[in-house]
Chains A and B, each alone.
Chain A
């Protein structure tokens, strides 16, 4: 399953950090973050529940970039 989320992030380097962090979360197949469109695209692993995975993704992103935001 593939979903797109709106995000808030301040700089391109921070977006890159969020992408790296999100990719390490269990249940995430591949995640890509675009600073320019302020969007995060997540392709979930099989049988993963986005509602359960996304809070983890947000947590992981907050750890590397404290003032980022993901709307889900």
Chain B
């Protein structure tokens, strides 16, 4: 509890004690009404002086209609009524009690909100406090990260956060990147690797040469983004602040009307009436009407939703985007690097004749021995995994045949590896295959040995992510790619995506997005998911641009509205889930709070609700709404 909250707590205790004592005294002794009034004023002033001052301050500064004003009018009204009717209607006790419960409610709200605020910010607490710099004597000195210049050597010990982006000049370590990516498996880094700030060094000692200033480092960018996110307000939040602006004055006038019109009407009709009855009802009406439940719970829900997302490596740049995410019904994906890994892997090995699979792989690996082409690298990697990467370096001749392949001569045999044209030139019959991807034929000692297919592989979680998105009601899932028709068809088939557009140039993607945007119905939103590097025009054109694998890429962080720190497509489905839950809670809060209030207001106007119910409608509803919004923090995987 803060100092202010403690002070409020002491005031609450003091006024309760005062009130209890007064009740005991009044039970035994009958006091004159004025003395009783004066005695009740003691707890009233203790508990309510700041509210009275604030209301007065508000009136003098042209801020008339706020909750302090409502509370002041309601309580003073009840007390004055008690004074004039000699305690028969309303009364001192109710006036003081309303103020007391209002303060208890406010205290609870302030503690609950403060606590959840801290919980949420703790989730995002990745700010490093210091950087270790070695001084002339070789001792480590803790320095403010802001003061570290580019090219300085910083030391990160086990258990410390990497404060600034850079690359490792000495040491190896395991890094915990979970604060940034939500990924719990540690990453091993060594000398020469680039590391980003915000990761925690679990083991080992690292010496890092900084490549950026602190302000430009990943951790600063992320923090700035998260902090700014609550500044971009959603439609629901704007609705509530607008609602509160009109609501309070309207309620005040309704209360005034309730106090005046029915009694006047009854008087004109010639029936007996009690002014005090209607005034009490009007005051009850005022207490019920406080809009704080809404005003506090809506931004809190969004903040909790954004906090929950960022703790899982999903950075949402504003409440408005979280809201838009929940309304997304059309989603377009880039293929390479988003749904697929964007790296080549051997996916099929087909030996011919007497050759075994292992032999074919060994031949291919020998042929590609000196090449650094991505295809050669993937073949060698595959060969190594099967234990077929021969260590014998008995290569006598090595020749590249431009546009066709390679030829290698070893002490044992002569191997050719390359495309269809190479095999044609050798006068051999090549095997054929319908599978998408790049085909590498291998011939050894003048005999066709078989072929290997190398293709981009689908990310393991991609298919599951697509299923989950469909289950969440996506109307259209479209894959956009610059790749060939066949390979696009195959990948789309494997992922269960029915719509795809292949052979697109970067400019064509924008046209495709325009088509999707024109297909929107009602409040629907269109999202696009890309790697953020060459998709900037598309990312900025759609309603919600989602960039993935953004760790360390400034361009992606700039152009996207939602940034996934790692490149796991499952996070998109998770982001949708979080946004939907958050918006569901926001709607529950709006409907429940307004609903309960309107209901009790009607009961109050008809005389069925007393002050005590009014206090529940105000404080109770607010407590429920705040507790409900905290649920946004918890989202099952």
Query: Which residues of A pack against B, CB within 8 Å?
Result: 4, 10-13, 16-17, 32, 34-39, 41, 63-64, 66-67
Distance in angstroms between the alpha carbons of A38 and B110 in the assembled complex: 13
Whether A32 contacts B296 in the complex (CB less than 8 A), given A66-B53, A66-B57, comes out as: no
B83 in the interface, Cβ–Cβ < 8 Å?
no
Chain B interface, number of residues (Cβ within 8 angstroms): 27
A34 contacts which of B50, B110, B231, B296 (Cβ < 8 Å)? B231
A32-B231, A66-B54 as given contacts; A13 in contact with B110, CB under 8 Å: no
B121 at the interface (CB under 8 A from A): yes
Interface SS, A side: mixed
Smallest Cβ-Cβ distance to A14: which chain B residue: B66
Does B244 make an interface contact (CB < 8 A)?
yes
A14 to B289, CA, bound (A): 18
Contact yes or no, A11 B57, CB < 8 A:
no
Residues of A within 8 A of B109 (CB): 11
> Which residues from B are CB-within-8-Å of A11?
109-110, 292, 295-296
Q: Is the CB of A37 within 8 A of B296?
A: no
Question: Which residues does chain B contribute within 8 Å of A63, judged by CB atoms?
Answer: 61
- Picked from A12, A41, A64, A67, the residue with its CB within 8 Å of the CB of B295 is A12
Q: Say whether B299 faces chain A, with CB atoms less than 8 Å apart.
A: yes
A37/B230 in contact, CB under 8 A = yes
Which chain B residue shows the least CB distance to A11?
A: B296
Nearest first, the 9 A-B pairs at minimum CB distance are: A36-B303, A32-B231, A34-B230, A13-B295, A36-B230, A63-B61, A12-B299, A66-B57, A12-B296
In the bound complex, what is the Cα–Cα distance between A50 and B231 (angstroms)? 21
- Any chain A CB within 8 A of the CB of B277? no
* Bound-state Cα–Cα, A17 to B117, Å: 20
Residue numbers of B with Cβ under 8 A of A are 4, 50, 53-54, 57, 61, 63, 66, 109-110, 117, 120-121, 227-228, 230-231, 241, 244, 291-292, 295-296, 298-300, 303
B61 — which chain A residues lie within 8 A by C-beta?
63-64
* CB neighbours of B230 from chain A (8 A): 34-37
Kindly list chain A residues whose C-beta atoms are within 8 Å of the C-beta of B298: 12
Q: Is the interface of B mostly helix, strand, loop or mixed?
A: helix
**Please, which residues of chain B bring their CB within 8 A of the CB of A10?**
4, 110
Q: Which of B4, B120, B291, B295 has the most CB of A within 10 A?
A: B295
CB nearest to A13 among chain B residues:
B295
Given A11-B292, A36-B117: 5 more A-B contacts, CB < 8 Å = A12-B296, A13-B291, A13-B292, A16-B241, A37-B230
Q: Which of A13, A34, A63 has the most CB of B within 10 A?
A: A13
| Nearest CB of A to B85, in Å | 34
With known contacts A66-B54, A66-B57, A39–B227 Cβ distance under 8 A: yes
* Cα A42 to Cα B292 with chains together (Å): 26
Please report the C-alpha to C-alpha distance between residue A37 and residue B125 in the assembled complex, in whole angstroms. Answer: 12
The CA of A37 and the CA of B54, in the complex, are separated in Å by 24
Q: How close is A25's CB to chain B, nearest CB, in angstroms?
A: 15
Shortest distance between the CB of B482 and any CB in chain A (Å): 39
Residue of chain B at shortest CB distance from A66 = B57
B239 to chain A, nearest CB (A): 13
- CB pair B231 A13 closer than 8 Å: no
Instruction: Check B63–A36 contact: CB distance below 8 A.
Output: no
Query: Which of A16, A37, A64 interacts with B227 by CB under 8 Å?
Result: A37
Q: Which residues of A contact B53 (CB under 8 A)?
A: 66
Most buried by A among B50, B121, B228: B228
Q: Cα distance A35–B299 when bound, in Å?
A: 9
What is the CA–CA distance of A34 and B244 in the complex, to the nearest angstrom?
18
Flag if A37 contacts B295 (CB, 8 Å): no
Q: How far is the CA of A56 from the CA of B321 in the complex (A)?
A: 33
5 pairs of residues in contact across A and B, judged by CB atoms under 8 Å: A13-B244, A34-B230, A35-B230, A66-B53, A66-B54
- Min CB–CB distance B243 → chain A (angstroms): 11
- B303 cross-chain contacts in A, Cβ below 8 A: 36
- CB nearest neighbor in A for B248: A13
8 Å CB contact of A36 from B57, B110, B292, B300: B300
Which residues does chain B contribute within 8 Å of A17, judged by CB atoms? 63
Q: Specify which chain A residues have a CB less than 8 angstroms from the CB of B231 in the assembled complex.
A: 32, 34, 41
CB-defined contacts of A39 to chain B, threshold 8 Å: 227
CA A21 – CA B418 in complex, angstroms?
Answer: 72
B291 and chain A: residue at smallest CB distance: A13
Contacts of B110 in A (CB 8 A): 10-11
Bound Cα distance A19, B456 (Å): 51
- B300: A residues at CB distance < 8 A: 12, 36
Q: Distance in Å from the Cβ of A24 to the closest Cβ of chain B?
A: 12
CA distance A37 to B120 in the complex (A): 10
Task: Write out the residue numbers on chain A whose beta carbons fall within 8 Å of the beta carbon of B292.
Answer: 11, 13
**B172 vs chain A, min Cβ distance (A):** 37
A36 to B633 alpha-carbon distance, docked (Å): 14
How far apart are the CA atoms of A3 and B481 in the complex, in Å? 42
Chain B CB within 10 Å, residue with most, of A10, A32, A37, A64: A37
CB-nearest residue of chain B to A30: B231
Least CB distance, A19 to chain B, in whole angstroms: 9
Minimum C-beta distance from A60 to chain B (A): 10
Given contacts A13-B244, A34-B231, A37-B227, contact A64 B63 (CB under 8 A): yes
Q: Please measure, in the bound complex, the distance between the C-alpha atom of A16 and the C-alpha atom of B244, giving whole angstroms.
A: 11
Report how far A42 CA is from B231 CA in the complex, Å: 12
